[in-house]
Structure 1
Amino acid sequence: MSPLAELLLVLVVLGLAVKLLLLNFWRAVLFVSPGSVRLVPVAPADRMQLPPELAPLAGQLQALGFVPLGSHLEKPRFQTGTPSYDFAHPGEHTFATLHFSPRGEPRLYLLTPLAPEGFVLTAGYPRPGFELPGRYRSGGFPESSPERLLEFHRVRLQGLPASEDFTWEERLRSGQAWYRGLGQREIRRQNLQGLLWTAVALAIVAGLFLGGDRPV
């Protein structure tokens, strides 16, 4: 292989490695440090700007008795963050949060903090089930309406001591506590692939710059 062809091959491989890093490095960081995600308040209820695509779900939540709390960003390192729109129904001991999937699809999940510690999380989209008896339950019921999702959530809450504080401040505090505690196992499971691809990309870069032989 000529020196020019060898150089071009090295540049192509390096470009692929860099692309892998750009796509996956933040997920590797999230795997290593789930608690590094920050919940950043954006606007209280009276200034919350709900995207039109989420308005139908928001309307159904409000018909069930949920009231708007505000919006926040869930911001991993090296990412701009996911906008989230929060509601609460103190009578149901439940927070509701609307956001978009990575593909831009409207999503809803319900969250109840437990006393003195723990969570019940019920999502209206695919989510692997996970449980720690008496402390944590999470799972998904894809394509459920808000009304149906709330029914599932009530059942999953039975026998567990729900918190009594359903202010926006508590919603933000609970979300941060989830990332720093009981949610870490799920976050690592979701981002394991990102960690592996990051390792592959770093191995490629190391092979190109530190290896004794270049690809021929």
Structure 2
Amino acid sequence: MNPLAELLLVLVVLGMAVKLLLLNFWRAVLFLSPGSVRLRPETDAERMQLPPELAPLAGQLQALGFMPLGCHVEKPRFQKGTASYDFAHPGEHTFATLHFSPQGEPRVYLLTPLAPEGFVLTADYKRPGFEVPGRYRSGGFPGVPPERLLQAHRMRLQGLKPLEDFTWAERLRSGQAWYRGLGQREIRRQNLQGVLWTVVALAIVAGLFLGSERPV
């Protein structure tokens, strides 16, 4: 092959490999270390400003008795972080969190910490069902409005003992505990593809450099 054409081919392939790494390396890190995600408080309830796209869901939550707590950011390593807007309904023993999907779609999930340890998590988007008897229940009901989501969440809490503290401090503590404990299996399942693409990208880079080492 013409040396110039060969160099161009190498540069194109290297560029593709670098792009794969940029898109997936953070997912590989998250797969290996789910507990590295940090929850950082941003604003309290009084200063929390909801994006207009989340206002309809927030209105429905407040009509059900949920009260705003504040906004926090969930930040994996090598990522900017995702803003989450928290609400609580102590009477229902439930937190609600609004956020955007990676595609920019409004989402809500309900979270109840259990005593002495555990969670029930119910989302209005597709989420693989997962259960650890007596300690953890997670699942999704795509497209369900908050009222029906709360009904489903209430049913999934049956037979379990929720915590009694539904302050914002507890919401932040619970979220961090989820990443460091019972949520790790789900995180790894969601980010396995990122690991595979990272390995592919590194193999491409290694192949390019090893292939360029020709005997003199």
TM-score by length of 1: 0.98
- Mark the CA change 1:119 to 1:86 in structure 2 (over 3 Å): closer, same or farther: same
Task: Tell me the residue number matched to 1:116.
Answer: 116
Task: Tell me the residue number matched to 2:154.
Answer: 154
Q: Distance in 1 between matches of 2:46 and 2:212?
A: 63
Task: Tell me the residue number matched to 1:40.
Answer: 40
Listed as ranges, the gaps of 5+ residues in structure 1 are none
Please give the secondary structure, in 2, of the residue aligned with 1:83.
Answer: strand
- Counterpart amino acid of residue 45 in structure 2: A
Task: Tell me the residue number matched to 1:201.
Answer: 201
Q: Deviations over 1:154-213 (max 9, x none)?
A: 000001000000000000000000000000000000000000000000000011112366
Report deviation, 1:73.
Answer: 0.4
CA RMSD across the alignment: 0.9
- Counterpart amino acid of residue 148 in structure 1: R
Q: Distance in 1 between matches of 2:150 and 2:4?
A: 63
- Counterpart amino acid of residue 91 in structure 2: G
Q: Distance in 2 between matches of 1:209 and 1:27?
A: 25
Q: Distance in 2 between matches of 1:142 and 1:149?
A: 10
After the TM superposition, which parts of structure 1 deviate over 4 Å for at least 4 consecutive aligned residues?
none
Task: Tell me the residue number matched to 1:4.
Answer: 4
Q: Distance in 2 between matches of 1:26 and 1:94?
A: 31
- Counterpart amino acid of residue 175 in structure 2: G
Q: Distance in 2 between matches of 1:86 and 1:176?
A: 14
Report deviation, 1:11.
Answer: 0.2
Listed as ranges, the gaps of 5+ residues in structure 2 are none
Report deviation, 1:135.
Answer: 0.2
Please give the secondary structure, in 1, of the residue aligned with 2:8.
Answer: helix
Task: Tell me the residue number matched to 1:175.
Answer: 175
Please give the secondary structure, in 1, of the residue aligned with 2:46.
Answer: helix
Task: Tell me the residue number matched to 2:29.
Answer: 29
